[in-house]
Amino acid sequence: SAVISQKPSRDICQRGTSLTIQCQVDSQVTMMFWYRQQPGQSLTLIATANQGSEATYESGFVIDKFPISRPNLTFSTLTVSNMSPEDSSIYLCSVDRLTNEKLFFGSGTQLSVL
Amino acid sequence: DAKTTQPNSMESNEEEPVHLPCNHSTISGTDYIHWYRQLPSQGPEYVIHGLTSNVNNRMASLAIAEDRKSSTLILHRATLRDAAVYYCILRDRDDKIIFGKGTRLHILP
């Protein structure tokens, strides 16, 4: 299994500020993904974090709002920029090690924007 | 992305088997069938996956129809800790995973 450390676990932020969420994996992984889960909803894929190149964003998500870094095979960050109350959600990092193997998920970041 | 259809919710009695259905009539030949579950206040966890043949692991069994247009996740003996949202997902090779709404499983004591 892969051990994923996601930080912070929760935060309360003011409107207009930005928050960077970190995802650290205990071993090298092929793919890293960022998801959002709004209250009572399923998970929505934000983007695939590509090592050494720009992230690939899903429809409805843009780099200016959710910049992502992936400097190496074990680490990625997601920034939620210029936050509004609508950004209040749980943000989850997930990884897989091998092609078409199972995904592992971090414990999530509970974000509340006032 | 190939889509799946699951019932919104199901109920089962504790210590009885549970069969969670999933329809995926537009599945392609290279799509793997994955199941994940999400316990309350936790991130999703992997349950099982397969391509064509039935699969068993310590958590569950996956029964795949011969035409692959449907599958069933089988929990052999449900416990209260199995109460969760179960997601059936199609994944093509190393493609991303897109979650549907899933089935909320309630276990009755």
Q: Does B44 touch chain A (CB under 8 A)?
A: yes
Asked whether the beta carbons of residue B94 and residue A103 sit closer than 8 angstroms, the reply is no
Q: How far is A35 from chain B (nearest CA, A)?
A: 10
Q: pLDDT per residue over B19-34, tens digit each?
A: 999 999 999 888 999 9
pLDDT of residue A99: 56
Beta bridge partners of A80: A19
Q: How far is A56 from chain B (nearest CA, A)?
A: 10
Cβ-defined contact of A108 to B43 (cutoff 8 Å): yes
Q: How does pLDDT run across A47-103, given as a tens digit for each residue?
A: 999 888 889 999 999 999 999 999 999 999 999 999 999 999 999 999 987 655 788
**Alpha-helical runs (H) found in chain B:** none
